[in-house]
């Protein structure tokens, strides 16, 4: 049979026989790229039959990996590069090969991000500098970053202390979750409701400013609450987290982005929150089931805080906890919004409905996967 699971296992065995490191991760990365789906989704589609074209592309990419491995010594040409080799294009190509050999997802993108950061050149403009020679000091810095990612699977966002989210650059450091593009779906829905429902529907006198009150539970680096505060400038936002590191990082982003209308508080969920008339509660809680740890990438498992990733009860623990008390902290007609895992839509919607929320809706992302659940206090 040519179903996905069979092909995946055959690919892993093939790579292992060729002594390719991280054979399973490499095979998963190749197949997910060919099938244009997230790597974590492969196991949800394991019975899917692959087309001849897909099989051909997978075979080609597997052979590319093996051929590249033969070209590169154990330590890779990048690590033993001659001092005379300073041209940007040559260094970039060898960096990409090194990362690919070490089974780093999106090797080209990561290498380009590192080069653009060290050289202070926009990533999209790197090609205009391909023939330029790089100074020795900058080569050493690039070498350090590339090897750190390749050897230790260290996330490039932590190395550079930076991640872009919703068009803004946020400071990130080890100890807080790296912002994901998936969370922009939650933020877009949050802003849509704030603008089209809360701001429009409040029956206030003309010329009287409306100040939506927003609670961000599990603030992390602050991306959700800070984005809300910047996009809805008359809002008042409170971000809570139990982690000192998260609160410290969120405060740093507040200062960097000059956000006056947000405050942060150490609190285990609602524990230290006194105000009980929020127009919106939003949360991206830990929601990955402990059973899914085996299919997560090395960089995430090794370096991102597990307490920000995993939750008990098949990843549903915090949805139960927040829903039990959220109605007590919302004003009438207020909203509760969650980011969720791609298989959790029905379960989280049921939890919200059983907790007394109305107009419960599951929102999908661009890939058609469950990503957000929203409900209202009526």
Query: How far apart are the C-alpha atoms of 236 and 252, rounded to whole Å?
Result: 18
Residue ranges in the chain assigned as alpha helix (H):
4-17, 23-35, 52-71, 76-79, 88-101, 107-119, 136-152, 156-160, 183-193, 199-201, 223-231, 244-256, 298-303, 317-329, 345-354
| pLDDT exceeds 70 at position 73 | no
pLDDT tens-place string over residues 114-126: 999 999 999 889 9
Q: Which pLDDT band, with edges at 50, 70 and 90, does 354 fall under? A: very high
| pLDDT exceeds 60 at position 256 | yes
Residue 279 burial (C-beta neighbours within 10 Å; 0-12, 13-18, 19+): buried
Q: Which residues contact 196 (CB under 8 A, 6 or more apart)?
A: none
DSSP for 16-66, written as a single string: HHTT-TTHHHHHHHHHHHHHTS-GGGGGGGTTPBPPHHHHHHHHHHHHHHH
Report pTM: 0.76
pLDDT tens-place string over residues 79-101: 555 545 688 999 999 999 999 98
How high does pLDDT run on average in the chain?
89
Q: Are 210 and 199 in contact (CB under 8 A)?
A: yes
The owner of tokens 């991760």 is 25
Q: Which pLDDT band, with edges at 50, 70 and 90, does 72 fall under? A: very low
pLDDT tens-place string over residues 194-235: 999 877 766 554 556 689 999 999 999 999 999 999 999 999
Q: Are 205 and 196 in contact (CB under 8 A)?
A: no
More confidently predicted of 158 and 295? 158
- Long-range Cβ pairs for the range 72-81 (8 Å, 24+): 72/97, 72/98, 72/101, 76/101, 76/150, 78/143, 78/146, 78/147, 79/143, 79/147, 81/143
Give CA angle at 367 (26, 356), nearest 5°.
Answer: 120
Token digits of residue 256: 């960097």
pLDDT tens-place string over residues 159-196: 999 999 999 999 999 999 999 999 999 999 999 999 99
pLDDT tens-place string over residues 34-70: 888 777 677 777 778 888 888 888 888 888 877 766 5
| pLDDT exceeds 70 at position 142 | yes
Q: Give the residue among 196, 259, 266 at the shortest CA–CA distance from 233.
A: 259
Query: How far apart are the C-alpha atoms of 205 and 212, rounded to whole Å?
Result: 15
Q: Are 32 and 4 in contact (CB under 8 A)?
A: no
| pLDDT exceeds 60 at position 368 | yes
Mean pLDDT of all residues in 257-273: 98
């Amino acid at each position: 049979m040519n179903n996905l699971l069979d092909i995946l296992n055959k690919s892993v065995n093939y790579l292992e026989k060729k002594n390719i490191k991280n054979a399973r991760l490499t095979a998963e990365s190749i197949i997910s790229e060919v099938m244009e789906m997230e790597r974590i989704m492969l196991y949800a589609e394991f019975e899917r039959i692959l087309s001849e074209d897909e099989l051909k592309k997978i075979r080609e990419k597997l052979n590319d990996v093996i051929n590249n491995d033969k070209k590169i010594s154990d330590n890779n040409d990048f690590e033993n590069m001659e001092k005379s080799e300073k041209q940007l294009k040559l260094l970039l190509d060898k960096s990409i090969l090194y990362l690919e050999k070490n089974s780093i997802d999106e090797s080209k993108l990561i290498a380009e991000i590192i080069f653009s950061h060290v050289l202070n050149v926009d990533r999209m403009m790197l090609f205009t500098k391909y023939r330029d020679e790089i100074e020795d000091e900058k080569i050493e810095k690039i070498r350090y970053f590339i090897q750190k990612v390749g050897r230790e699977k260290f996330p490039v966002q932590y190395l550079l202390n930076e991640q872009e989210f919703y068009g803004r650059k946020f400071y990130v450091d080890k100890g807080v979750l790296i912002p994901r593009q998936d969370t922009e779906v939650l933020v877009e829905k949050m802003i849509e409701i704030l603008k089209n429902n809360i701001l429009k529907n409040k029956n206030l006198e003309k010329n009287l400013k409306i100040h939506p009150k927003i609670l961000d539970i599990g603030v992390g680096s602050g991306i959700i609450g800070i984005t809300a505060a910047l996009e809805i400038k008359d809002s008042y936002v409170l971000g809570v987290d139990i982690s000192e590191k998260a609160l410290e990082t969120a405060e740093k982003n507040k200062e960097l982005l000059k956000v006056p209308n947000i405050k942060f508080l150490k609190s285990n969920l609602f524990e230290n929150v006194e105000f009980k008339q929020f127009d919106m509660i939003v949360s991206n809680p830990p929601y990955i089931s402990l059973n899914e740890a085996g299919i997560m990438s090395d960089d995430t498992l090794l370096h991102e805080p597990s307490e920000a990733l995993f939750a008990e009860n098949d990843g549903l623990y915090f949805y139960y906890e927040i829903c039990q008390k959220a109605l007590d902290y919302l004003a009438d007609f207020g909203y509760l919004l969650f980011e969720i895992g791609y298989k959790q839509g029905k379960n989280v919607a049921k939890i919200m409905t059983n907790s007394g929320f109305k107009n419960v809706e599951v929102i999908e992302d661009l890939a058609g996967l469950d990503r957000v659940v929203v409900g209202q206090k009526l």
